[in-house]
């Protein structure tokens, strides 16, 4: 079985982090006048066996610069005004990028010396 969940997105240029099931599919994006906010509708399978993923989405107004690595999802329009809100998925770090910046070992992070 599957379902569609509705998620409000931050409109203050800060990413919204969502926990989604693997295989999710974005089905709609809309600006809701009553809430004065952009919402995202996501179809997800209802299987608890599927891994969950952390994904970030950001709302950008027309004309604002966007990093090349972001992926455009959809655009929501204010039906009573000239505003358009563009929803982008923030690029996930690849394993290669994460390997370039590995997390320090706990002992090093705490400033402790390791004995050989």
Tens-binned pLDDT, residue by residue, of the chain (116 aa): 999 999 999 988 899 999 999 999 999 999 999 999 999 999 999 999 999 999 999 999 999 999 999 999 999 999 998 999 999 999 987 544 444 444 444 433 344 343 43
**How high is the pLDDT of residue 11?**
86
| CB 7 within 8 Å of CB 42 | yes
The candidate with the shortest Cα–Cα distance to 31, out of 97, 87, 91, 98, is 87
| Global model pTM greater than 0.85 | no
Give 72-108 as a 3 state SS string. EEEEEECCCCCCEEEEEECCCCCHHHHHHCCCCCHHH
DSSP strand pairing (37-45 vs 25-32): antiparallel
A 10 A CB-CB count for 41 gives 15
């Amino acid at each position: 079985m599957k379902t569609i969940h509705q998620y409000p997105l931050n409109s203050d240029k800060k990413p919204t982090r969502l926990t989604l099931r693997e295989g999710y599919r974005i089905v709609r994006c809309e600006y809701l006048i009553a809430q004065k906010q952009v919402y995202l509708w996501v179809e997800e399978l209802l299987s608890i066996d599927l891994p969950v993923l952390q994904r970030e989405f950001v709302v950008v107004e027309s004309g604002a610069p966007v990093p090349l690595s972001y992926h455009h999802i959809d655009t929501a329009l204010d039906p009573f005004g000239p505003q358009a809100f563009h929803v982008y998925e923030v690029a996930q770090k690849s394993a290669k990028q994460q390997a370039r910046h590995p997390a320090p070992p706990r002992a090093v992070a705490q400033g402790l010396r390791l004995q050989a």
